[in-house]
Structure 1
C-alpha cells in the first residue's frame, strides 16, 4: 500500500513540472494545494477512523463510516470540496499578502481554482492507490483486468483487427492532417482539435470493447488478451482528468498582476 512518500513525491513532482512548463502560471501555491490533497486529502477519513477508535466501539463505528465516505475519489470532492476550497483560497490570500510564497501573478487563488486542485488531488491519490494497494486486488484494478481475456489463448478475430486498425489509422492520419504546416490555425487551435479527435476515437474504441465484452453473448476477446477498455477508462479518469483540472486551475496568460485581492 502506498505510504506518504509516494503520494507526496508523485504529486509534488507533477506540480513542479507544470510550474516549469507554464512559466509560473501553475504557481507554488497551486503545487502545494494539489500535493496536500493528493497526499493527505482522502486519507483524512483513515485518520478520523483511527482517532475515533481511541474512544470506544461507538466512536469507532462512526469513524469507519466517515472513512468509507471520505476515502473515495468522488465523495471526497462532494463532501469536502467546497469547504476546503474556501479554506485554501483564504490561505492563498494570506500567503500573497505576507509574501510567504512566490507567485508571478501576485494574485491569490480563487475558490474555483482551489476546487479544481482539490479534485485533481483526489483523483491523483487514487491513481496511486488503485495500482499499488491491497495486493493488486482493489475493485478498480480487478475490473480493469476483467476487461481482458485470460481464460485461454486469446483468439484474434478478423473483425477486431480491422476495427482497431481503422481507428488507429484514423487517429494518426487525422492528427497529421490537423497539424499540417499549411493549416492557418494556431498551434493552440490545432492542439484543441487534436484533443477532440483523440477523445472521439477513444470513445469509439471503448464502445467497440464494451460491445464485445458486455453485449455479445458469449463474450469475445475485444482486442486479443488486452484489457484495453479498463486501461483507457482508468487512464482517462485517474491520469488525464487530474492534469486537465490542474491546467484549468492555472492563471490565464493575460492575468492582471497589478491587482492583489484581499
Structure 2
C-alpha cells in the first residue's frame, strides 16, 4: 500500500498543475486541502484502529471505524460535512494570521472587493483582508476529490496486486487463451475511435467565428458519449453474451475506463468545480495594490 510520500506528492503535484493552468482560481488553500485529504483523509480510520491497538482498549471500536471510514465514498459521506466546516474555518484562520496566501483578491481593500462583487452579483462570498477563503462547498468538493485520489493509488498498489478493485479490472480482460480477434469488435471499436478523433477535429476546425466555451462543451460531450458507448460494448460482450467473448482482444478496457473515470477524471473534475469564480480573480487583478 502506498505510504504518505506517494499520496502527498501525487496530490500536491496535481494541485500545482491546476494552480498553474487555472491562473489562480485553484489556489494554495485548494491545493493544501486536497492534498491533506488525499494523504491522510481516509486513513483516519486506519489510524484509529492502530491507536486503539496501541492503547490496548477499544480495539473493536477502532476496527469498526476503519471499515467505514477507509472507503472512497463513505469517508466523504460520513465526515464530509463536519470536515468541510472545519477546513473552511481553518482557511479563514490561515488568511487572518497571514500564514497561507490566496491568489484571489490578494492585497485588495475589503470594501473595493465587496463593491465590485456586488455589481458582478457573486453571492455568498466573504473576504478576509481582501482575500477569499474557501467556503464549505469548496471544502466538501476537495474532501471528496482527495478521498478518491487516495484510492487511485491504493487500489493499484495494495495487497500485493490482489485488491478487489484491481482484480476486477483484470477480470474484464481475456487471459485464458490467445484472445480471438472478432470482426464485429474491430468494426465497433474502430468506428468509436474514429468518431472521437474525427469529431474532435471537426469541433475545433478553423472557422472565422467560434466560441471556445461552446467548443469545449461539445468536445466533452463527445468524449463522454464515446466512453459510455465503449463501456456498453465491452460490458455486453463480457456479461451478456454467452459464452463470453473478448470485447477488445485481450485488453481489460472496461475495467480501465471505469477505474479512470471514477478515481482519476472525477476527482479532478471535483477540483475544477471547487475553483473560485473567474470574475473574482479577474477583479482582484484589476484592483489597485
Distance, in Å, in 1 between the alignment partners of 2:189 and 2:81 is 42
Aligned in 2, Cα 1:40/1:183: closer, same or farther, shift over 3 Å? farther
2:169 to 139, 144, 155: 144
Post-superposition Cα deviations, 1:205-243, rounded to whole Å, max 9, x if no partner, equal: 000000000001111000000000000000000000011
**Unpaired segments of 5 or more residues in structure 2?**
105-130
Distance, in Å, in 2 between the alignment partners of 1:101 and 1:194 is 37
Post-superposition offset of 1:177: 1.0
1:201 corresponds to 2:200 = no
1:28 corresponds to 2:53 = no
Report the equivalent of 1:191.
216
Post-superposition offset of 1:257: 4.5
Post-superposition offset of 1:99: 2.0
Post-superposition offset of 1:55: 4.1
8 Å contact 1:117–1:245 — kept in the other structure? yes
1:50 corresponds to 2:50 = yes
Q: Aligned with 2:100: secondary structure?
A: coil
1:251 to 266, 272, 276: 276
User: What is the TM-score of this pair, normalised by structure 2?
Assistant: 0.87
Post-superposition Cα deviations, 1:171-225, rounded to whole Å, max 9, x if no partner, equal: 1111111111116332222112101100000000000000000001111000000
**Unpaired segments of 5 or more residues in structure 1?**
none
1:240 corresponds to 2:265 = yes
Report the equivalent of 1:219.
244
**Paired residue total:** 257
Distance, in Å, in 1 between the alignment partners of 2:64 and 2:80 is 18
2:254 to 229, 234, 238: 229
Post-superposition Cα deviations, 1:23-69, rounded to whole Å, max 9, x if no partner, equal: 11111111000000000000000000011113446x11111111010
Distance, in Å, in 2 between the alignment partners of 1:183 and 1:204 is 33
8 Å contact 1:107–1:257 — kept in the other structure? no
Distance, in Å, in 1 between the alignment partners of 2:74 and 2:86 is 18
- Of the structure 1 ranges 217-226 and 185-194, higher mean CA displacement relative to structure 2 is found in 185-194
8 Å contact 1:48–1:66 — kept in the other structure? yes
Aligned in 2, Cα 1:155/1:78: closer, same or farther, shift over 3 Å? same
Distance, in Å, in 2 between the alignment partners of 1:211 and 1:183 is 43
8 Å contact 1:212–1:221 — kept in the other structure? yes
1:123 corresponds to 2:122 = no
Report the equivalent of 1:77.
76
User: What is the TM-score of this pair, normalised by structure 1?
Assistant: 0.95
Q: Aligned with 2:248: secondary structure?
A: strand
Report the equivalent of 1:99.
98
Report the equivalent of 2:179.
154
Distance, in Å, in 1 between the alignment partners of 2:159 and 2:54 is 25
Runs of 4 or more consecutive aligned structure 1 residues displaced over 6 Å after TM superposition = none
Q: Aligned with 2:279: secondary structure?
A: coil
Distance, in Å, in 1 between the alignment partners of 2:196 and 2:83 is 40
Distance, in Å, in 1 between the alignment partners of 2:239 and 2:56 is 46
Cα-Cα RMSD: 1.3
